Chains A and B, each alone.
Chain A
Amino acid sequence: MEKDKKFYWKLFSSTFSLSAFTFGGGFVIIPLMRKKFVEELNWIDEQEMLDLTAIAQSSPGAIAVNASILIGYRLDGFRGALITVLGTVLPPLIILSVISLFYTAFRDSLIVGYVLRGMQAGVAAVITDVVLTMTLDILKEHRLQPVIILIAAFIAAAILNVNVILIILICGVIGALNVLLTKRSKGGVQHDAA
């Protein structure tokens, strides 16, 4: 693939337009990126796109940002990653800058206030729906530990006001220990048998 000005412009404009039309953030951008870079431009193959998606999902930060970093890096190393990250953050940066400048007028308008209050109920419903779906997925596993982590973490965050970062770190360590201890106990069983 030739890396001329046209390539860089295409890389930037693709991520810019994808980011500008992905409302609400989250996973929505992944199928759009697949369509653009796999089907339309043929720059990345299907299997690799799946790998990149998995990495983007399991890393901290916004999925749209993570996925664009990976695509840029895959196509043109660190420079490519900088170009795609710029393309991804510019649309929200521009739009929110404008809104925050007019925020006071925006907020003090009675009509806007009513719409925002109505939408807030809608947003609360969307978040509740996401939580319900994710909780049901965890219950379907029929394993006790994730349910205990879920309830304990909820109590810690919502009622005891424990620092959320601390909760995340502790749960990550529990997950890692789980794997390490399972491995060791398997080793132990073999030892006993011998």
Chain B
Amino acid sequence: MMLLKLFWSFFQIGLFSIGGGYAAMPIIQHQVVEINGWLSMIEFGDVVTISQMTPGPIAINSATFVGTRIAGLPGAIMATIGCVTPSIIIVLTLAYIYYKYRNLSVMQGVLTGLRPAVVAMIASAGLSIIVLAFWNSNPISFASTDWISVVLFAASLLILHKFKADPVWVMSGAGLIGCLAYMVL
């Protein structure tokens, strides 16, 4: 029963994460944290961070992480299968349609409508990660602000935006410098 629930939850995640990568984040958060309570918001933040450190798409990483914690290896496999099943069905159908009607205007219209919505979803998920990084699930106030995190965030953003640095290096650097700063201060 739990396996079916995992399959169905990650099937929905696979089905509705349009735009790939970060776009999957709010949908995973919704299913895993809000609806099913399989992870706390802090654990979800860790999954996002671990996903950035390890290879593979965030949706597959979350499926494996949540699946293993809820039902061991069978859970991980079931959640992963759930996650890729909609892709297999839709991508193959779309490939067929694409070769038949390459310039389908309604299809392009749907995608045009989705793009700004996807940006908004990513922004919304980004906001909850920022809140988590700055206040670590404490009530938001000036006194409870983690200033090391704020400085790391600002420096990382500057380096990313100005120098187009590789995100993997920026995140590793933030981790290393953050670790030193938390130990010393």
Contact = CB atoms under 8 A, between A and B. Distances in A.
Contact of B20 (A27, A52, A135, A172): A27
B156 A91 contact: no
Q: What is the size category of the interface that chain B forms with chain A?
A: 35 or more
Contacts of B6: none
B9 interface: no
A180 B114 CA distance: 16
Contact of A92 (B12, B64, B94, B153): B64
Contacts of A122: 152-153, 156, 170-175, 178
B48 A27 contact: no
Contact of B156 (A61, A121, A130): A121
Nearest to A67: B91
A51 B87 contact: no
B2 interface: no
Interface string B135-162: 0100000000010111011101100110
B13 to A, nearest CB: 9
Nearest to B164: A129
Contacts of B122: 127, 130-131, 134
B4 interface: no
Interface stretch (A4-12, A18-26, A34-42): A18-26
B46 A107 contact: yes
A157 B14 contact: no
Given A120-B129, A125-B156, A65 B84 contact: yes
12 contacts: A25-B57, A27-B20, A62-B14, A73-B91, A117-B182, A122-B172, A123-B171, A124-B129, A125-B153, A130-B126, A175-B111, A176-B109
Interface of B: 12, 14-22, 24-27, 30, 45-46, 48-61, 64-65, 68-69, 73, 76-77, 80, 83-84, 86-88, 90-92, 94-95, 98, 105-127, 129-130, 132-133, 136, 146, 148-150, 152-154, 156-157, 160-161, 167-168, 170-179, 181-183
